[in-house]
Amino acid sequence: MDNIIVLRYGELYLKGKNRGFFERQLIGNIKNKLKGFDCELICHRGRYEVSGYDRNDESRIVNALKTVFGLKSLSIAQKVPSDISIMSDVILEKLPRSGTFKVDTHRADKTFPLTSPQVSAALGEKIIETNKNLSVDLHNPDIVVNVDIREDKYTYIYTAKEDCAGGMPVGCAGKGLLMLSGGIDSPVSGYMLAKRGLSLDAIHFHSYPYTSVQAKDKVVELAKIMSQYCGNMNLIVVPFTKIQETIHTKCNSDYMITIVRRFMMRIAEKVAFYRDCGCIVNGESLGQVASQTLQSITVTNDVVKSMPVFRPLIGMDKQEIIDISLKIGTYETSILPYEDCCTVFMPDSPVTKPTIFKAENEEKKMGDIEKLIEQALDNLEIIKI
Ligand code: ATP
Ligand code: MG
């Protein structure tokens, strides 16, 4: 008998009247993920199933589905007509020759003549009658057989449930602009908000030739890894050299990082606006470095006027962030030793308690800052990921 993959979704059931919208987004995202596999997706209320695939593709399909936000869990199952003797035959095939088991029944089809405990008992009895080396253990069984009787007169039988990515379908919460450096944190921050349904574009500032071509390639690679979870994105690469040189020559060095970050924010806000993004996302974590003290964040945040800046890592420890980056596969790329523009011209002791007043005064020394920003925007590169 062919396997199928049963998919269950998570929080969507909370969405009341908007549920159709969330489900359409989820189904579209699943279909995108299954492109390239010969299989069929059937959508029932409450769960979906993937069938008709080649057994050799099964683990690749399962791994791909585990990256779809909005799915909570999946099981590799057999689908049979809701009939006790057919069910018990299939369960016997699934069980080993000896050992203990328990049948756990869920009955969505309330017209089925037996209650869930009665189904479990009937199946248990039939199985031990047929194979005397098997016995029922309700408390500590070797194997739990799940029997899920659906409304459409079919039953799913499976022995394992695997966790999927959880969260909400990417796209259902609108679009955000992720500030993507080559570091560990920003890919994780993008992942976390994609998990809440945000689709992403990414912006990267590079200061060639102070930063290398490899540093940019690394960011492209990170975006590719992220896109497995976050879907397609555009990576907008902004030339930042001129702005950094100007800050370096005109401004007080202890304000360098503060002002660099204010320029990044200004440009991010403009790009976000032009690309229909409703928010900016970055990887700041409170107190992690000088530019992420409360005062520093206040001063950099001050230049963004028209949209929220989301910082999903704000309360996380570095190790917690690393754990997620290992899980999503960005860590190994993030630690490649290419410099980020944040390290170019950086003073040994940057200010940790900047003020908006002083930052504005430093920026006045830079001349026409709007022109600098326009020049950067005129020369940005867009890479489709
Ligand atoms: P990360 O590990 O993400 O690089 P970090 O701990 O090194 O973070 P910072 O360098 O202060 O911290 O950067 C804070 C945030 O600012 C980053 O998480 C990222 O969102 C954004 N950022 C920093 N550098 C760049 C860059 N070159 N291009 C785009 N965004 C950047
Ligand atoms: Mg960094």
DSSP for 323-374, written as a single string: HHHHHHT-HHHHTS----GGGTT--SS--SS--HHHHHHHHHTT--HHHHHH
The answer to whether 61 and 5 have CB atoms below 8 angstroms apart is yes
- Ligand closest to 206 (CA) is 1
Determine if ligand 1 sits within 6 Å of the CB of residue 291: yes
Is residue 17 very low, low, confident or very high in pLDDT (cuts 50, 70, 90)? confident
Long-range (24+ apart) CB contacts under 8 A made by 291-298 are 291/257, 291/258, 291/261, 291/342, 291/350, 293/352, 293/353, 295/352, 295/353, 295/354, 295/355, 296/257, 296/258, 296/261, 296/351, 296/352, 296/353, 296/354, 298/356
Residue 231 has pLDDT above 60, yes or no: yes
For ligand 1, pick from 181, 191, 214, 303 the residue to mutate: most ligand atoms within 8 Å of CB.
181
Is residue 13 very low, low, confident or very high in pLDDT (cuts 50, 70, 90)? low
Per-residue pLDDT averaged across 11-17, rounded? Answer: 66
CA of 179 to the centre of ligand 1 (A): 7
Chain mean position to CA 311:
15
* Gap between the Cα atoms of 100 and 144, Å rounded: 9
User: What's the length of the chain?
Assistant: 385
Residue list, CB under 5 A from ion ligand 2: 181, 183, 340
pLDDT of residue 291: 83
pLDDT tens for 305-349 read 999 999 999 999 999 999 999 999 999 999 998 877 777 788 888
Biggest CA–CA distance in the chain, Å, is 89
Determine if ligand 1 sits within 6 Å of the CB of residue 266: no
DSSP sequence for 274-292? HTT-SEEE----TTSSGGG
Residue 167 has pLDDT above 70, yes or no: yes
Is residue 134 very low, low, confident or very high in pLDDT (cuts 50, 70, 90)? very high
Q: In sequence order, what are the residues at sequence separation of 6 or more whose Cβ sits closer than 8 angstroms to the Cβ of residue 19?
A: 12, 13
pLDDT of residue 75: 97
Question: 310-330 burial string, b = 16+ CB within 10 Å, else e?
Answer: bbbbbebeeeebbebbeebeb
Determine if ligand 1 sits within 6 Å of the CB of residue 238: no
The answer to whether 107 and 117 have CB atoms below 8 angstroms apart is no
Chain mean position to CA 267:
25
Per-residue pLDDT averaged across 371-384, rounded? Answer: 97
Token output for 360: 């504005």
What whole-number percentage of the chain has pLDDT above 90? 88
CA of 185 to the centre of ligand 2 (A): 8
Token output for 16: 């009341």
The answer to whether 286 and 352 have CB atoms below 8 angstroms apart is no
Pairing of strands 71-81, 162-163: antiparallel
Determine if ligand 1 sits within 6 Å of the CB of residue 260: no
- Ligand closest to 282 (CA) is 1
Is residue 10 very low, low, confident or very high in pLDDT (cuts 50, 70, 90)? confident
Per-residue pLDDT averaged across 168-185, rounded? Answer: 96
| Local structure of 248: helix, strand or coil | helix
pLDDT of residue 152: 86
For residue 359, give Cα distances in angstroms to 4, 18, 243, 268: 60, 45, 15, 18
Is residue 137 very low, low, confident or very high in pLDDT (cuts 50, 70, 90)? very high
DSSP sequence for 147-211? EEE-TTSEEEEES--EE---SB-TTTT-EEEEE--SSSHHHHHHHHHHTBT-EEEEEEEE-TTTS
Determine if ligand 1 sits within 6 Å of the CB of residue 183: yes
Residue 14 has pLDDT above 70, yes or no: no
Determine if ligand 1 sits within 6 Å of the CB of residue 289: yes
| Local structure of 73: helix, strand or coil | strand
pLDDT of residue 378: 97
- Ligand closest to 284 (CA) is 1
pLDDT of residue 15: 65
Per-residue pLDDT averaged across 117-144, rounded? Answer: 95
Residue 160 has pLDDT above 90, yes or no: yes
Residue 260's Cβ-count burial label (10 Å; 0-12, 13-18, 19+) is: buried
pLDDT of residue 98: 94
Describe the chain by its helix, strand, coil percentages, rounded to 5.
Answer: 45, 20, 35
Mean pLDDT, the chain, integer: 94
pLDDT tens for 242-288 read 999 999 999 999 999 999 999 999 999 999 999 999 999 999 999 88
CA of 339 to the centre of ligand 1 (A): 11
Is residue 118 very low, low, confident or very high in pLDDT (cuts 50, 70, 90)? very high
User: Tokens 């199933």 belong to which residue?
Assistant: 49
Nearest to 330 by CA among 232, 223, 180: 223
CA angle, 270 then 169 then 27, to 5°: 125
Nearest to 49 by CA among 95, 7, 80: 7
Query: What residue type is 374 in one-letter code?
Result: E
